[in-house]
A and B are shown apart, each in its own frame.
Chain A
Amino acid sequence: MPPSPTRLLVRDELIGFARSKVMLVLWVILPCIAVAGFLLLPARAFGGARAYLTATTFMSLIESSVAGTVAALMIGVDIVSERNRNVYTLLVIRPIRREAIIVAKFLAVFGCVAVACIVSLLLGIVVDMARGVPPTAASLYDTGKALVSMTAVVGMSTAAGALFGVLARSILVAVILVLYVGQNITVVPMLPTYFGVLPDRFWLFMVISFALVAILIWLAGRAFRRAQL
């Protein structure tokens, strides 16, 4: 039985991203810069809290601040650029569902950026161990939790980036939408807790995030299916 078009598209997108310079930056250069930054940070930084800051925590701080934005920009710009270069024309005329193209792009970008987050955190753990600060069970639990919530944010940002990439006709418009609207979407899962509507539970944050990702991707796929190419 032939593989599904979505699987083929995901494979192709993953190969494409993995070979791109952006991934070299995300997987190698950024983690190295973050480690260098951590090591060069003066002891009095963060009001003296630097002394208690582990490399793992520092790396998760850095990643959580950039990963979502990077993922959203990557997918948004990529979709607009490929659309403007008529790349999708050759895919849309094949016997596949149009939505599969957007789902594949989402999975590839999400996967690549999630890997970048994992690489960074693992590197943080390695640096900590090299500095004689081995991770405890509690710190590993916290790191795992940080990683999961980080991937949820990356998922939401990527899905929002995909939607704005489909809707926008120019790269500039896509970038503006991603930066000013897309980034605020990642706050949505926290709002029910903030307003006291729902209890403060990690699993609840994850459920809302997952639902939001599904809605955004569904909207992006639907918009792409209706697009007149």
Chain B
Amino acid sequence: MNACLLRVAVTIGGVNLAGSPFEIHVNAGKTSACASHAEGSGWQRRVLVGDPLEFTIHAYDAQGNPQNQPTDQFVVTLTARSRDGYSIQLRPTYLGSGATLVKYEV
């Protein structure tokens, strides 16, 4: 089911029960990593040295609903392909509406 606003009505003989109708807010489910994606200038195979780069992670649940809860902790890691292979963790910034911004520069 998609995240939406439902209006539920229970009637008997065409007459609503007490408390009917009522509305249900259906929020997005847990964020699914394989349904989330990223985009931006920093999300490509070849980047320019000296340019500020950034990309935005868009979080979705398994049904494809955009995540509207700021509960996801994305781990963004850049691992050098050199001999030592050190790793750097980038700090993501939550923008709201399931969008997380990551900035870096090479």
**Is B truly associated with A?**
no
Interface residues, chain A, CB within 8 Å of chain B? none
